[in-house]
Chain A
Amino acid sequence: MKKYLIFIIACLVVCLLPFVGMAVRPTTVSTENKKMAEFPSLKADNGKLNLKYFEEFEEYFNEHFAFRNELVYADAKLQTSIFQVSNVDTVTYGTDGWLYYSSTLDDYLGNHVMSERQIYNLAHNLSLAKQYTEANGCDFLLTIPPNKNTLYGEHMPYYNSYIVDETHNIDLLTPKLSGLHIPYADLLELFRNEKETLYLKRDSHWNMKGALMAYNCIMDTLGYQHENYGDSDVIRTKDEDGDLNKMLYTFYGEKELNYKYNIEHNFSYSDNFKSVEDGWIETKGGAGNGSLLMFRDSFGNTLIPFMADQFEQAWFTKENPYGLESLVEQCKPDTVVFECVERNIIRFINMPPIISAPQTDVTEVGEHLETSTTISINTLEYDMNYYKISGSVDGAYLEDETDIIVRINGTCYEAYHTGENTYELYIKKDEIKNKSLELEVLLKNNEIFSSVQTKTIDEGERLQ
């Protein structure tokens, strides 16, 4: 009987511990980047009985039970040590303790290699952004931090190593950018030529030495004089708790070595600065002249101190899509930098920067074709000040490098290419004076223009 009793009590203790433990040690912090659930109320917002009470209670309990972080760590440790797999969808557990961000898998395997047309579309959209910034007197630069497994894929696990296509979209894009004269800091080439591993083992980003090299590459490509910090004191300390490390092992993952530069920065952050993770950061007092507007992602976290130190004033934003026109009008920067990690470059097709479409000259329209091209107009969902004119072009008339142009009441505008054969362009609402819009979609192939659709849209339709 004794063994039965011991077994029953042991099981009950294990079951009750996460609940009873909440009295003394509830979980109040999480490494998951989200707001933790609050204890539900029996009353719903409308004053009636909250029918989701149980559901919300379960959600609350699942996030707040005692020792949650320790148990999640234990699960990760068991799964990685015994079975060599991650217990978190977002993290891929590689060999020798290497961790990768799972969202980069398709790029790594070559599952979605872009077509010639898509690559052209991507470069074309960037060229419109560049055209806009340069027309406003700013220097423009694009830089694309490579995915970790593009550079160091040898540690990917066997089950994620059956490569479909060795080609990386970033490799296809590079010559196209050069063809369209888009200033580009080629970090892929920079890191590929380095023997030293410049990304962290348990983080999805580069280490500080990699960040410094990226910064120098960006400034060199811009052609600006800058401090290269080549003679700075540097040490290596084992205190880096990588993003993937935290996702997988919560607060208890093993820390790793990173470079630490002993640099005295001149710039200062604005008062509301919390951390380099902030969506909007302003700095002042850098050593150089001029100002910088940088659209960046998490790779920018380590670039900010270096970049901010070279500009009198700098603005760093994580917004998506890029509100390019409004920020250029607001900040009036001298330099605009786009920094976007390899896995997200598709955004330049799906969510191109918001600018008024650049005007263009159309010499002579050759053919007027009967096609199934569509045209529609709506308010832009990301910025109510703009109309979005969009549609799809009959694919039969598109070649790899066909440009799409939309004539609005006689003025021609270059459109973004948003898919294989779709297009969109933005026009500020206050720029459209006429009640009725005469729209015409034109295609430009080797300097020859053809008209593929026309449509008249009245004010009522526009307001819908």
Chain B
Amino acid sequence: MVFSSLVFLCIFFPIIFCLHSVVPSIKAKNVLLIMASLVFYAFGEPVYVVLMVISAFLNYLCAVLMEKVNRKAVLVAAVVVNIGILSVFKYTGFLITTINSVFRFNITIPKITLPIGISFFTFQALSYVIDVYREQVAVQKNFGKVLLYISFFPQLIAGPIVKYRDIAYEIDNRNVNLKETALGMRRFIYGLAKKVLIANTMAIVADSVFTQEFAHINIIGAWIGAIAYTMQIYYDFSGYSDMAIGLGRMFGFHFKENFEHPYGALTIKEFWRRWHISLSSWFKEYVYIPLGGNRKGRLRTGLNKVIVFFLTGLWHGANWTFVVWGLFHGAFSLFEEFVPKLKKLPRVILHIYTMLVVTVGFVIFRADTLGQACIYIGKMFADFEVSAVAMSFACQQLTPFFIAMLIAAVIGCGPIRSLTLKLRDVSEKEEITQKENIVQILLFTVAFLLLSWCIIRLSGGSYNPFIYFRF
């Protein structure tokens, strides 16, 4: 089930929310949330829900065993099992395809369906076991609570990758008041609007361009497609994170921010501090720092970064396009490391540089093959042919609705950052002025209208893909 579906918005969410509000004890609330999360997952994966529960149980068991047997051995076993499960379900086909093409073998590729959100829940589970090993959190003896942490539906299938220590306290102790609920709901609605109104509109154009014959695409069409996809992926994923954070808050959980206006970054390094923060911090904490981080010299730091970017790419999907995308970002991150003078360039130049790298990177990410990515990038920078077919195709993408949503997307992902941060701060304040109160009421009214518009938009079954669902 996805958040931007009517069955979630009209049945699942209101019912679970109302039940959660009326159930008296925290224990009962937790049981309700576990059951709801399993149903939520089973809606899309009626069979693999068992795999998710087994994965949660194995990690629970490993953490418990750490107190009784060799801690390191148990940790190694947990890592092997988690990465093993992830590899079998996500990377088997990729591995065999690569072996077949390198060694010219003809090994049959097994048809394994990728369980929804496996990369997210596996990483969450791993972080719990590693944190227990590091004695950063206490072992949780109650399997239900571990299951709730791993399967909690707001972050189950598309993140953010929550660390156990960040919500351990709230599993047992949480209070939800009207303000928290309203602010959570508002955050959820803003995320929903980002997804339904902007990401879905961008998706239509991006999919149309990326599936079009190359003969029909010139520099204009290629840039329209690349920009549309760059906006789609940001609004799709950050919208989902907003929805997860908002829902979490409505149920009394506080997840950390996952995006901080990444398209406003001036360097690739800064971009990665603002993009999918929960994933970058996971790799930083559990891969980069254990590898030595930046403590073992410049060369080793560079190598560690390359490893992390390689793994980040691979985490996104079983295809060389994702790996190359990760390494592409890694290369620019190293470039910034070794050319510190770059940062002295004017802000506008830096911003253009960063967005160019990000946009070209997402073309590699979106393409089906590296060959397609190369041809597409060639079109973006060198295809100046003004053929009628290509111009007609480019023109077809520029509908008034696409243009309106693109303008909203561009404004929303950069220029209004300071305003949104200010509004966020005002919302959290205990005491607000009359003027601030009017702004709050206005924001709630806008949120209500956006919710209504989203339900209206979804009622006809309009185009509604979810990018991060696949990871």
Q: Which A residues are closer than 8 A to B by beta carbons?
A: 1, 3-5, 7-8, 10-12, 14-19, 51-54, 57-58, 61-62, 65, 68, 71-72, 74-76, 78-79, 83-85, 87-88, 109, 111, 157-165
How far does the alpha carbon of A4 sit from the alpha carbon of B444 in the complex, in Å? 8
A109 CA to B42 CA, complexed, in Å: 46
- Shortest B196–chain A CB gap in Å is 11
Tell me whether B178 and A12 are in contact (CB under 8 A): no
Docked CA distance A54–B453 (Å)? 26
**With A11-B185, A15-B13, A87-B462 in contact, is A71–B456 under 8 Å at CB?**
yes
- The residue of chain A having its C-beta at the shortest distance from the C-beta of B395 within the complex is A162
> What total of A-B pairs shows CB separation below 8 Å?
131
A-B pairs with lowest CB-CB distance, top 7: A71-B459, A4-B182, A162-B392, A83-B401, A162-B395, A4-B178, A54-B43
* Residues of chain A with a CB closer than 8 A to B161's CB: none
A111 to B457, CA, bound (A): 31
Chain B contact residues: helix, strand, loop or mixed: helix
**Cβ distance A409 to chain B, nearest Cβ, rounded Å:** 42
B459 x A68 contact (CB < 8 A): yes
B181 at the interface (CB under 8 A from A): yes
Q: Counting CB contacts under 8 A, is B400 at the interface?
A: yes
Most B CB within 10 A of own CB, among A7, A19, A65: A7
Q: Are B43 and A8 in contact (CB under 8 A)?
A: no
Please indicate the chain A residues that have their CB under 8 angstroms from the CB of B456 in the complex.
71, 74-75, 78
Chain B residues within an 8 Å CB radius of A7: 182, 185-186, 444, 447-448
> What residues of A have a CB within 8 angstroms of the CB of B178 in the complex?
1, 4-5, 8
Main secondary structure of the interface of A (DSSP, over half): helix
Chain B residues whose CB sits within 8 angstroms of the CB of A159 once the complex forms: 395-400
How far does the Cβ of A68 sit from chain B's closest Cβ, in whole Å? 6
* Chain B residues closer than 8 Å to A72, beta-carbon distance: 459-460
- Sample of 9 more A-B contacts, CB < 8 Å, known A18-B6, A75-B456, A162-B396: A7-B186, A7-B448, A71-B456, A71-B459, A75-B459, A78-B453, A83-B399, A83-B401, A88-B460
Q: In this assembly, does B452 line the interface, its C-beta being within 8 Å of a C-beta of chain A?
A: yes
Question: Which residues of chain B have C-beta atoms less than 8 A from A164's C-beta?
Answer: 388-389, 392
| Cβ-neighbour of A18 out of B10, B43, B391, B401 (below 8 A) | B10
Among residues of A, the one whose C-beta sits closest to the C-beta of B453 is A78
Distance in Å: Cβ of B240 to nearest Cβ of chain A:
18
Interface residue from A19, A62, A163 paired with B461 (Cβ < 8 Å): A62
Contacts of B389 in A (CB 8 A): 111, 164
A76 vs B388: C-alpha distance when bound (angstroms): 31
CB distance from A71 to the nearest CB of B (A): 4
Q: How far is the CB of B382 from chain A (nearest CB, A)?
A: 22
Contact flag A14-B460 (CB < 8 Å), given A4-B179, A162-B396 = no
Q: Identify A75's interface contact among B13, B398, B457, CB under 8 A.
A: B457
Q: Max chain A CB contacts within 10 Å: which of B5, B10, B404?
A: B10
Q: Does B69 contact A (CB under 8 A)?
A: no
Chain B residues with Cβ below 8 Å from A163 are 388, 392
Measured in the bound complex, the distance between the Cα atoms of B2 and A62 in whole Å is: 14
Q: When the two chains form their complex, are residues A14 and B448 in contact, meaning their CB atoms are under 8 A apart? A: yes
In the complex, A51 Cα to B50 Cα: how many Å?
13
A352 and B344 alpha carbons, distance in the complex (Å): 69
Provide the bound-state CA to CA distance between A1 and B181, in Å. 11
- The yes or no answer to B46 lying at the interface (CB within 8 A) is yes
